[in-house]
Amino acid sequence: MPKKQSTNQNKKPRTVKQPIYKSFRLQKKIKPPAKKPLPGIVRLCRSALVPLKSNKKLFFGIIFIHFVFIMIFVSGIASSLNFVAAKDSLQQAFGGTLDNYTSVVALLSYALSSGGGGNTASANYQIFISLVVSLAVIWSIRQVLAGEKIIIRQAFYLGMYPLIPFMAVLLIIGLQLIPALIGNLLLTIVLSGGLAVTLLEKALFWLIFILLSLLSLYMLVSSIFGLYISTLPDMTPLKALRSARSLVLHRRLRVALRLVGLPLVMMIFYAVVLVPLIFIFPLAVVPVFLLLNSFSLFFINSYLYNLYRELL
């Protein structure tokens, strides 16, 4: 009799197994747990500027270093002169006026190509420089928000340790873009080659492109935060991606809207600054564009890092 009492005492209380959400599988609807609401795009943009306001010397120094290296290894003074020549050519083509939408868009497109370098080697330099500076920015933002006092040298010395995990997550993100690239390639071949004639055929290929793009976006919504998780100590790429998926669980759409809003804000910012320069001082368009790129590198990382912190 005593033995039966001891066995009954050792039994653990029965609990209901919690359902686990799995993507792309038919299953019963799972009630999401209560989570704090995410801030809007405007509030995230304001939060992204907070580290810059409180540490101007640090972050403006990092921005300036990125600008100088891009000017030396990617672009240069020749790009500004070429832009002025391109503007003169367009003025002659449009009868001496540049007040139409088409000419402004053409010049903005030319500024983008001039600032991005004209060959593969320049593009590779730009990617590597931006990768290194991004790691310095992420490390600096994390330290500043933790209340630490740091200098520029520490950002580039100590911020480089997660380079390999960061690049591994970036490679996985590149693989996740393949569905969207396939959809774009298929749509381009079909439309340019005249393979789709009727409206129904064109709509079908547009639908395929949209679905493949949504698949890539679905994966990117979580994986992009894996970049910031991978910079934590003793973090592996796969573990970072799994942690990122759990962060956006049950709120992927809300996160996606905030991610899509970021490039829209940047496009408006670029247009407000560059369009007046095209008419007033075209020689400064390319250098200012490169400086905006350097600032944008900080702003984008700060915006995404703040969104990542709000998801925790």
* 12 lies in some domain: no
Residue 13 has pLDDT above 50, yes or no: yes
Distance (Å, whole) CA 2 – CA 252: 55
Distance (Å, whole) CA 250 – CA 256: 12
Q: How far apart are the first and last CA of the chain?
A: 52
Residue 209 has pLDDT above 70, yes or no: yes
Lowest average pLDDT, out of 96-100, 208-212, 240-244, goes to 96-100
- Confidence band of 101 (pLDDT split at 50, 70, 90): low
Distance (Å, whole) CA 39 – CA 44: 6
Which range marks the domain in which residue 115 is found? 40-311
Mean local confidence (pLDDT), 98-111: 63
* 153 lies in some domain: yes
Residue 95 has pLDDT above 70, yes or no: no
Distance (Å, whole) CA 259 – CA 300: 10
Can you give the pLDDT at residue 119? 58
Can you give the pLDDT at residue 190? 85
Distance (Å, whole) CA 278 – CA 99: 11
Residue 93 has pLDDT above 70, yes or no: no
* Domain total of the chain: 1
Distance of CA 99 to the CA centre of its chain: 33
Can you give the pLDDT at residue 85? 62
* 179 lies in some domain: yes
Structure tokens at 36: 């704090």
Considering 16-25, 46-55, 70-79, 99-108, the range whose residues carry the highest mean pLDDT is 46-55
CA distances from 167 to 172, 180, 219, 228, 240 (A): 9, 21, 17, 11, 12
* 114 lies in some domain: yes
* 24 lies in some domain: no
- Confidence band of 201 (pLDDT split at 50, 70, 90): confident
- Confidence band of 195 (pLDDT split at 50, 70, 90): confident
Can you give the pLDDT at residue 126? 84
Packing angle of the helix pair 41-54, 120-145 (nearest 10 deg): 80
Distance (Å, whole) CA 167 – CA 276: 38
Q: Are 20 and 249 in contact (CB under 8 A)?
A: no
* 257 lies in some domain: yes
**DSSP annotation of 248:** S
Helix/strand/coil for 122: helix
Can you give the pLDDT at residue 171? 94
Structure tokens at 229: 């998780």
* 118 lies in some domain: yes
Pick from 89, 81, 126: which is nearest to 106 by CA?
89
Structure tokens at 169: 């997550």
Structure tokens at 82: 């070429």
Pick from 301, 309, 299: which is nearest to 49 by CA?
299
Mean local confidence (pLDDT), 55-82: 80
List, for residues 244-253, the tens digit of each pLDDT value.
999 898 888 8
List, for residues 116-158, the tens digit of each pLDDT value.
555 566 777 888 899 999 999 999 999 998 888 899 999 999 9
Distance (Å, whole) CA 70 – CA 283: 17
pTM: 0.81
Q: Are 311 and 225 in contact (CB under 8 A)?
A: yes
* 194 lies in some domain: yes
